[in-house]
Each structure stands twice: as C-alpha cells, then as structure tokens.
A = this chain, B = another copy of it.
Amino acid sequence: MFSRPVPWLPAEGDAALITVSSRIRLARNLVDLPFPGRATVEQRRRILAQASAAAAGIVAAASRLIVSEMPDLTDLERQLLLERRLISRDLCRMGAGSGVLLAPDEHISVMVNEEDHLRIQALLPGLHLRAVHRLADDVDTKLSRCLPYAFNERLGFLTACPSNVGTGMRASVMLHLPGLALTGQIEPLMRGAQELSFTVRGMFGEGTEAVANFFQVSNQATLGESEDQTLGRLDAIICRIVDAERVFRQRLVRERREHLYDQIGKAYGSLRYAHLLTSKDAMNQLSLLLLGCDLGLFHNLRRGPLQELMIRVQPGHLQKLAGKTLEEVPRDVFRARLVREKLGNMADA
C-alpha cells in the first residue's frame, strides 16, 4: 500500500504547473442517529459497518475496498493516509468507530465518523472540478440508495456543523503559487477570496499553515446556491488566480531576475548537498525547484519526479521507505540522503 505514485499529482503540462488538484468533499449524515461527536462507540461502529457494507456494494468486482477502523491503523499508516490527503488531521486522532473506506486507486475515500457520519471525498489531478464532482456525486448517489441520509427539503443535507448545511459540499482546488507568495500577494489574495466567500488555506486544509507555496482555495457557502453554481464560481476565481500567478511570475523574472535565480539556485544547492533536512525545509526548497522547472531554468530536472519527491520526503512516506520508525534526527539524515540521491540521479540523467 502507498508505494505507487500519488494519483492526485498532475502530469506535466501547462495548466498543471499551477493547478495541482481538484477535490470534492460531501458531508452526509444518517437519519435518527446522533452526530459522531455525540454518538456512543456502539452507534459509531454500527454506522461504520453500514457504510462499509453500502460501499462494498458499489465497488467494481475486480477492485477491493479497503476498510480501516482508526485503532487498527498504525501511526505510520495514519500518517501516510494524511500525507496522501486521503484523511484529515482530525480523523488521524480519532478512535473506535471512526474509520476510512478507500478505493484502491485512491481517487475516492470516505471518512466515517469524523465530524459527520460520512465525508465522501473525490480527488483528481489538475483543474477538473466537474469531473471530480461527477466522481463524488456518483458515489454519493449509490450510497444514498442503501443509507438513509438526513435531508431537509428546505435546508438540504443536515450536518454536524451549521457551516456545511445545504449542499454539504466543499469543493477545493490546490494551487502552487510561488509567484504570488514571493511577491507578498498571498494576504491580498486571501482577503479578496474571503469577500467572494472563498477560503484560502495551506496544503493540509483547515488550521494548517502554508507549506511549499501550496494553497487550497475552497467555497465557504453551502447554503443558498446549487453545487453547480458553487463549482462555476470556484472555477472562475481559480482562473483569475492562475492568471495572477502567471503575471507575478513574469514580473519576478523581469524585475528581480537575479534574486529569483539566486533563491532557486541556493535551494537546489542546499538540497543537493544537505546532510540534514527537515520535512518543511525540503518541501519549501522543492517548491522553488518546481518553479525553476516551470521557468525552464533546469535542463535535467523534471517536474513529475520533483512533485513525487515532495510527497516522499514527508515523515510517513520517508519512514515507510526506510522500513522502520525513525526519530527526528535520523529522519532528517535519511531525508537528506534521499534528496541528494534523487537530485543526483536527475542531474546525471
């Protein structure tokens, strides 16, 4: 499990340089049962069993649904699921009766008894909001045939937190915005998005800081507009952000070329010869290398392997590769060796 490439990383291509992935998350709850925060372990376990049974019925015969209750997962497995963006930080910390259902291709996952009974997630590379919505919607429709959803004609889907009531849909796009970040444009972007009732967050969602210039833009409103309207508005704002990112990258190249090349060059040099690397440093510097690739500064580095490396340097993936638990310093040493080797191989290629 999890040795294969991360399925939500985009293939190389122009638009993919900025729009990393599109995600839909649908919050659903079952009628006549308390929300997970108030349910007993017995109730939560029954919900997990019901959800698993319903999901098993809709998975193609050839593939296999992975069902895990949180206590059955090791720390490393939870960490891997988090790093691959298949579960939330909150679910990581949950116990008996909470779990995850996972399609083997990792495009679909369902968190069970996180904040809501079900959180159906679909995740695709690139900017493909309609496609990823169809994927989530299809699972949702099929599950709804077996599971009695809590739905109110006037309000829509009922959820544990009022902020999700209505469509229960959170659509988000992950963007790589080094151009805006290096020119101090993230604050204005956040304020502007807020005014249109969108939120800009770090890579791992709510409450996480931005790492490596990756930002997720998602809708706040789930009430008063249809899924289709939300997706249309999100698509439009993403296109404007992508345009702005392009403009600010060009401006950086035009007006601060030497500073930019210096930052990218030193990031490369540091990664290529480090013997100790924190996850955060590695990701931040790899982000600059991605930018360097986009700007055509590197002959021998390719975007795909760098993106993949950015996932592999995270603690879970790193320890999986090492085949054992590693304390912080040995982990930083191992990470530095991995990065040196990978960049060395790319440079030799």
Chain A residues within CB distance 8 Å of chain B: 258-259, 261-262, 265-266, 268-276, 329, 332-333, 336
Query: CA of A333 to CA of B273 in the docked complex: distance in angstroms?
Result: 22
A341 to chain B, nearest CB (A): 13
Of the A-B pairs whose beta carbons lie under 8 Å apart in the complex, a sample of 10, sorted by A's number, is A258-B332, A259-B275, A261-B275, A266-B270, A266-B274, A269-B269, A269-B270, A269-B271, A270-B270, A272-B273
Contacts of A274 in B (CB 8 A): 262, 265-266, 269
- Interface-centre pick from A265, A269, A276, A332 (highest chain B CB count, 10 A): A269
User: Could you list 19 further interchain pairs (A-B, Cβ under 8 angstroms) beyond the known A261-B275, A262-B276?
Assistant: A258-B275, A258-B276, A258-B329, A259-B275, A262-B274, A262-B275, A262-B336, A265-B273, A266-B269, A266-B270, A266-B273, A266-B274, A268-B269, A268-B273, A269-B269, A269-B270, A269-B271, A269-B272, A269-B273
CB neighbours (8 Å) of A261 from chain B are 275
In whole angstroms, how far apart are the Cα atoms of A279 and B258 in the complex? 16
Chain B hits for A265, CB < 8 A: 273-275
Residues of B within 8 A of A270 (CB): 266, 269-270
Write the nearest CB–CB distance from A306 to chain B, whole angstroms.
Answer: 16
Q: How far is the CB of A16 from chain B (nearest CB, A)?
A: 26
Query: Complex: how many Å from CA A262 to CA B261?
Result: 22
Chain B: minimal CB distance from A122 (Å): 40
Q: Taking the nearest CB of chain B, how far is it from the CB of A45, in angstroms?
A: 46
Inside 8 A of A266's CB, which chain B residues have their CB?
A: 269-270, 273-274
Which residues of B sit under 8 angstroms from A273, Cβ to Cβ? 265-266, 268-269, 272
| Cα(A268)–Cα(B272), bound, Å | 10
Which B residues lie within 8 Å of A262 (CB)?
274-276, 336
Contacts of A258 in B (CB 8 A): 275-276, 329, 332-333
Task: Give the chain B neighbours of A336 by CB distance below 8 A.
Answer: 262
A266 to B274, CA, bound (A): 5
Assembled-state Cα–Cα distance A26/B276 (Å): 49
Closest to A336 in B: B262
Chain B: which residue is nearest A268 at the CB level? B273
| Shortest CB distance A344–B (Å) | 12
| Shortest Cβ distance from A332 into B: residue | B258
